Structure 1
């Protein structure tokens, strides 16, 4: 089973597609997870987060007909988080990369890596798919894992799959919500075209518009079009190509939004199962602490 997760602080963009959706399109055993607790540490606008949560779930369902689980539906997460926090000394926050450049942070930021540890262990998966920006948390996870599981006399064999492909945006920075240079995967044609028009010709292959397109879509003839078309014509061509490439998924996405009540029932049905599933994983720990 492969574990995939994302928080609900922003919509799925092309960087997310390359990192967490495209690599597993042909896999059957996938576990989708929305880290909505994590997103609260980044944004306190609850209406915005709720809207994003529903949109992200419908985006995933347009690509995969798989159950999607919510972090907030599983109360065992909070139970395990408290147990782990009792093991972890405050001086260890020097390993928390999120806090290195910040003087003012909340307890939510402090607990972010510990909460990530809880999610991974409760899901009981063999493989965890991570983006390049999450490598910093892998070493921290191993340190926490070693200490806690030694005390509880437990063993778990989790392998991390790191996706090193980075999508660079028009400003030659990594595409991300925090950099405010992302593009929603189901954007309309005009937004896609205006986004690509911001790209400038560069000799750096990794940060070129050609590389952006090749990482998103495997199209062998793209080099021919790039070197034989006028640059403005090439922009129009790839804008149309990407828009049409995701058109069917986009239609399915909008049809699910129209049936939002049915979609919510579908989500809740699987999240009741998820709670019982993780509850079984905690039985051994509960016996030790007589919870």
Structure 2
């Protein structure tokens, strides 16, 4: 039975790119798989490399939990938990730190990108970020890992760690994980045409108020063509986002309007806004309802953590045995 695992960092409310690229496809897999073969966690430990204020991370965690639940995650079928509640993962990460070559880890894209800027501000946590991510995956021997395109290198590092560790110990302790990509949603454009990202502030948050959501959509960058001029639907950012969420017949109607002319970008933005409000109306209501009941969110995450701990405890004892350490009581 192949296990599936994925997580989102506690850096804020999941934006449209997170929802289309990770949340919806992950829920689709998790709700169909055998009971307790899917692991979905909120990566609050990973978030510490970016956010130092624990109160902010905690509130972000509630928002992410509410988003997953609003989109219909079946918590009776999968293990849904807060990363920091299963501390066994940090022990496994330490073992990987001690076995994995420094030089290979230094090739990580995230580290190299930040190294070019201000190396004196880079934490050890940022450098070893892929190691903790590998521990998240390999602790449960997860095989299917839904990720965005930008996370492919991290999955490859996890595969190398599994292979390297297995070879060092002489036992197949870990299966090699595989990235699962939704081809249609691998790369969701932000309002500026670049990859949608909170750090770039080019995201669309469907859980915003109507006013804020409309403002975000109206900020989508366009060219200077007039209403009367024909427009290219293949290069337009509004059309790109609309095509990811609307049914085929609506997409074709908007394409024809672009190619015919007499259809302005303002009208296209209004159409995108109205369709988002329509398509995600139920999820928006559920999200706000969950956010008003944080004790319920704590209870749900605690139940998931209890199940995950039981599995992680058994797995880590198995790993400890092959490392010649004593078992955990």
TM-score, reference length from structure 2: 0.82
- Please state if 1:244 is matched with 2:278: yes
| Residue of structure 2 in register with 1:55 after alignment | 63
Q: Which residue of 2 aligns with 1:171?
A: 192
Aligned equivalent of 1:213:
242
Conservation of the 8 A alpha-carbon contact between 2:6 and 2:26: no
Q: Map 1:1-291; keep pairs closer than 5 Å.
A: 1-27=3-29, 28=31, 29=33, 30-63=38-71, 64-66=73-75, 67-101=79-113, 102=115, 103-104=119-120, 105-152=122-169, 153-154=171-172, 155-164=174-183, 165-199=186-220, 200-201=222-223, 203=232, 205=234, 208-228=237-257, 229-288=263-322, 289-291=324-326
Is the CA contact (8 Å cut-off) linking 1:169 and 1:207 kept in structure 2? no
Name the SS for the 2:193 alignment partner.
coil
Which segments of 5 or more consecutive residues in structure 2 lack a partner in the other structure?
224-230, 258-262
Contact 1:14 1:216 in 2 (8 A): no
Structure 1: gaps spanning 5 or more residues: none
In 2, the alpha carbon distance for the partners of 1:119 and 1:207 equals 38
Aligned residues: 291
Q: Give the superposed CA RMSD.
A: 2.0
The answer to whether the 8 Å contact 1:189/1:240 transfers is no
Moved more, 228-237 or 207-216: 228-237
Distance 1:182 1:78, change over 3 A: same
Given that residues 93 and 131 in structure 2 are in contact (C-alpha distance below 8 angstroms), is that contact kept between their aligned partners in structure 1? yes
